[in-house]
Amino acid sequence: MSGATGVPVRLLRRRGAPEEPLPEGEALVDRFGRVHRDLRISVTDRCNFRCVYCMPEEGVAFRPREELLTYEEITRVARVAKALGVRSVRITGGEPLVRRDVPTLVAQLAAVGFEDLALTTNGTRLAALAEPLAEAGLQRVNVSCDSLRPERFAAIRRRGDLATVLAAMDAAEAAGLHPLKVNVVLLAGVNDDEIVDFAAFARRTGRVVRFIEFMPLDAEGRWAREQVVPAERVLAEIDAVWPLEPVPDADPSAPAERYRFRDGGRGEIGVVASVTRPFCGRCDRLRLTADGAIRNCLFSDDERSVRELLRDGASDEAIAQVLRAAVGAKRAGHGMDDPGFLRPQRSMSMIGG
């Protein structure tokens, strides 16, 4: 027999009943042998920017607040994921810091005991929250910044200003959130003349600058392959000025290929080449959307919701089964080059990066 959620009745429990702990360290392994240790948690689909590669400037419809998971619900899913071998969590959005009291969620997740706890932000509210986030247990941040030229920054983001984001980076480092990573989405003919400028920024600040290929996840559906600035070009342009070499012993499951400056200069360069050099074969990530869907790939519409399970009193084992099912259904790759590839129905801001 099954309950209203489709989960066997034996896996549902009465509210308030004792929970039997899951065996710690049970691995989430897919059909291709990939072990999933990383969980990206989106806390909101809202954002105070309207970046040209992500969201339309006006007319964005957001999820009703009652559909979003509470911090306690998010933490419960994260706790189950940890019992299944997840070791790293990143908080995302939308823009996560537009949701109220994110340090409270950070403290709850930190208490679960993850090895790595990070957050990706556009930086607009980071300066004021850097210390509370660090005190709550956040370890590091990724800050999005697509131009070092104020007018161009404003044109790409359509809201906000560069000075605020740069000040936020300083505040984050002062609070002990490091290494600080700077995410740069490159668009051909828009900001691709700043590749070497960002490399100089990495050397000057000692920060990690990561160049991200433009992916078909924009809400307006205007992505075109000719807008992609390939990682190969990025590395060649920087290497011509400051020779690069791979970072030894880099995490093979990480999405970014990492490079350091051969002359010993400070900082680091990363490329996230989802389009031209897919890293699907080493992907170890699952995603929890703000409204409670488990996704095994950014580019797949295969979703399994845990929200009703959480609200209907399901057991931890029932939630674990959803995570296992998501991993078990994961495809070998995102299929972007396949003739039948279909863009995901949800955009990046709705999924969480």
* pLDDT tens-place string over residues 262-301: 999 999 999 999 889 888 888 999 999 999 999 998 777 7
The pLDDT of residue 223 is above 90: no
The pLDDT of residue 349 is above 90: no
Give CA–CA dist 181/46, Å, rounded. 22
Percentage of the chain with pLDDT > 90?
A: 67
**To 5 degrees, how large is the angle CA 293–CA 294–CA 297?**
120
For the annotated binding site for GTP, the residues are 40, 90, 120, 181, 285-287
Which letter does DSSP use for residue 86 in this model? -
Q: Where are the domains of the chain?
A: 24-351
Q: Identify the pLDDT of residue 76.
A: 98
The pLDDT of residue 201 is above 90: yes
Task: Enumerate residues 6+ apart whose C-beta is below 8 A from 242.
Answer: 199, 203, 261, 262, 263, 265
Q: Identify the pLDDT of residue 87.
A: 96
Segment 313-317 mean pLDDT = 96
Q: Identify the pLDDT of residue 321.
A: 96
Beta-bridge mates of residue 210: 183, 270
Q: Identify the pLDDT of residue 5.
A: 38
Residue 39's pLDDT band (cuts 50, 70, 90): very high
Residue written as token pair 């099912």: 325
Q: Would you state the CATH architecture of domain 24-351?
A: Alpha-Beta Barrel (3.20)
For the annotated binding site, the residues are 40, 47, 51, 53-54, 90, 94, 120, 144, 181, 215, 280, 283, 285-287, 297
For the annotated binding site for S-adenosyl-L-methionine, the residues are 53, 94, 144, 215
The pLDDT of residue 58 is above 50: yes
**Of the candidate ranges 114-118, 200-204, 210-214, 253-257, the one whose mean pLDDT is the lowest:** 253-257
Q: Identify the pLDDT of residue 279.
A: 80
Task: Enumerate residues 6+ apart whose C-beta is below 8 A from 108.
Answer: 71, 72, 74, 75
